[in-house]
């Protein structure tokens, strides 16, 4: 009976119910997006850091990886110290640089990574082979398109621009042997990889035995934080950064996204709550005589409250369900905007959908729908029967 009465009340005012559902759907979409924003970046960034299995990264003391142009001196000695540890499986040194690339009339700049192909963790080879020999490089699609080049073509690289001589200090011709996708670079950024010794030689004496970053892979079951602390103490010229530490530092820099998510999420939840509260209050005020009649014929006060709460909850659940779909659409659009942030890795997602996020948003809105109807429902069911019927009759 209660469900039938609740359904009849909602159907009786179709336009009002529809507008309420639409309003709640918009609030639900915003709430879902904000929940996704609050957790998505952390999960996405963690997955990115662990994509190649390296749990610890060594950067020049006091910096984040590639945060500045600073490099780590004595790379060979540091690598030997790391391999001497029983918990270390692989060590991947990386040198970053900006190179000038020419092929025929085409001339562009590109990010270059000097790596050791057998242990590198910066790119995934799509075609061809990894650059192992002197004079071999692997390029990404953005660079190949800019140069109009393919695997097997020869290009010319130049590095170490000297402003006094107005020329490059390191130049050489190389052959493209592979096509690669660079995991940590921004979308559309031109890049190539070559053997670490080759890039160190091109950069000149200043980069001899220097690297920008060293990635460390530990054995399964190793205590990552204990290893990080030990390495940090053992090698004073570097800052040892674990995945957890890196996430914390990035979150500090991008904390405004979390703050924005919390503020807008709270606003959307509040809007949904006030919307349902207003509609339920209006509905109760219109039905005071009906409520008084039901009480006069013996219907308990609690049953009337249940009916009104069911109406508010139905509006919230239907609106929230529609809002989940709308939220996924808007999240995809917003993510495409934020993904254009300069220097942001292409693999980072600000809005990452997880089933838990949908249940959180749906649960919050359903709870709000119940709470929104408590006061107006109890107030309407508590009015004196006789005086309410008399006032309704006079009206």
Q: What is the mean pLDDT of the chain?
A: 80
Per-residue model confidence as pLDDT tens digits over 253-302: 666 777 777 787 788 778 777 877 777 777 777 777 667 777 777 777 77
What pLDDT sits at residue 6?
60
More confident residue, 180 or 366: 180
* pTM of the entire predicted model: 0.66
Query: At 231, is the pLDDT very low, low, confident or very high (cuts 50, 70, 90)?
Result: very high
**Per-residue pLDDT at 202 exceeds 80:** yes
SS3 for the chain is CHHHHHHHHHHHCHHHHHHHHHHHHHHHHHHHHHHHHHHHHHHHHHHHHCCCCCCEEEEECCCCCCCCCCCECCHHHHHHHHHCCCCEEEEEEEEEEEEEEEECCEEEEEEEEEECCCCCCCEEEEEECCCCCCCEEEECHHHHHHHCCCCCCEEEEEEEEECCCCEEEEEEEEEEEEEEEECCCECCCCEEEEEHHHHHHHHCHHHCCCECEEEEEECCCCCHHHHHHHHHHHCCCEEEEEHHHHHHHHHHHCHHHHHHHHHHHHHHHHHHHHHHHHHHHHHHHHCHHHHHHHHHCCCCHHHHHHHHHHHHHHHHHHHHHHHHHHHHHHHHHHHHHHCCCCCCECCCCCCCCCHHHHHHHHHHHHHHHHHHHHHHHHHHHHCCHHHHHHHHHHC
More confident residue, 12 or 134: 134
Q: What is the mean pLDDT of residues 354-383?
A: 74
Percent of the chain with pLDDT over 90: 22
More confident residue, 168 or 144: 144
């Amino acid at each position: 009976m209660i469900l039938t009465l609740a359904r009849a009340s909602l159907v009786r005012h179709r336009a009002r119910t529809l507008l309420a559902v639409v309003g709640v759907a918009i609030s639900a979409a915003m709430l879902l997006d904000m929940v996704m924003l609050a957790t998505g970046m952390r999960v996405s960034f963690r997955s990115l850091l662990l994509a190649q299995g390296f749990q610890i990264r060594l950067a020049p003391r006091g910096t984040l990886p590639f945060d500045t142009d600073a490099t780590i001196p004595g790379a060979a000695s540091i690598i030997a110290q790391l391999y001497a540890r029983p918990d270390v499986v692989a060590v991947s040194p990386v040198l970053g640089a900006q190179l000038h690339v020419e092929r025929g009339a085409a001339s562009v700049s590109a990010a270059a990574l000097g790596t050791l192909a057998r242990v590198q963790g910066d790119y995934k080879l799509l075609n061809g082979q990894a650059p192992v020999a002197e004079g071999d490089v692997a390029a990404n699609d953005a660079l190949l398109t800019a140069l109009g080049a393919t695997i097997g073509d020869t290009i010319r690289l130049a590095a170490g621009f000297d402003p006094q001589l107005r020329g490059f200090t390191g130049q050489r011709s190389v052959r493209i042997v592979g096509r690669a996708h660079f995991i940590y670079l921004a979308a559309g950024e031109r890049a190539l990889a070559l053997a670490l010794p080759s890039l160190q030689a091109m950069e000149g004496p200043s980069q001899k035995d220097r690297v920008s970053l060293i990635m460390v892979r530990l054995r399964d079951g190793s205590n990552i934080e204990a290893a990080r602390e030990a390495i940090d103490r053992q090698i004073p010229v570097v800052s040892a950064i674990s995945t957890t530490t890196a996430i914390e530092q990035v979150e500090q820099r991008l904390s405004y996204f979390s703050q924005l998510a919390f503020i807008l999420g709270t606003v959307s939840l509040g809007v949904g709550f006030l919307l349902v509260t207003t509609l339920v209050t209006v509905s109760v005020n219109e039905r005071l005589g009906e409520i008084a009649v039901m009480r006069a014929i013996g219907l308990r006060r609690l049953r009337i409250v249940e009916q009104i709460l069911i109406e508010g909850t139905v509006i919230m659940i239907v609106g929230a369900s529609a809002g989940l779909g709308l939220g996924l659409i808007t999240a995809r659009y917003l993510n495409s905007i934020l993904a254009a942030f300069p220097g942001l890795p292409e693999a980072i997602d600000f809005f990452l959908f997880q089933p838990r996020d949908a249940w959180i948003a749906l649960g919050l809105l359903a709870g709000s729908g119940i709470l929104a109807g408590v006061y107006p429902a109890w107030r309407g069911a508590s009015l004196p029967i006789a005086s309410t019927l008399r006032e309704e009759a006079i009206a």
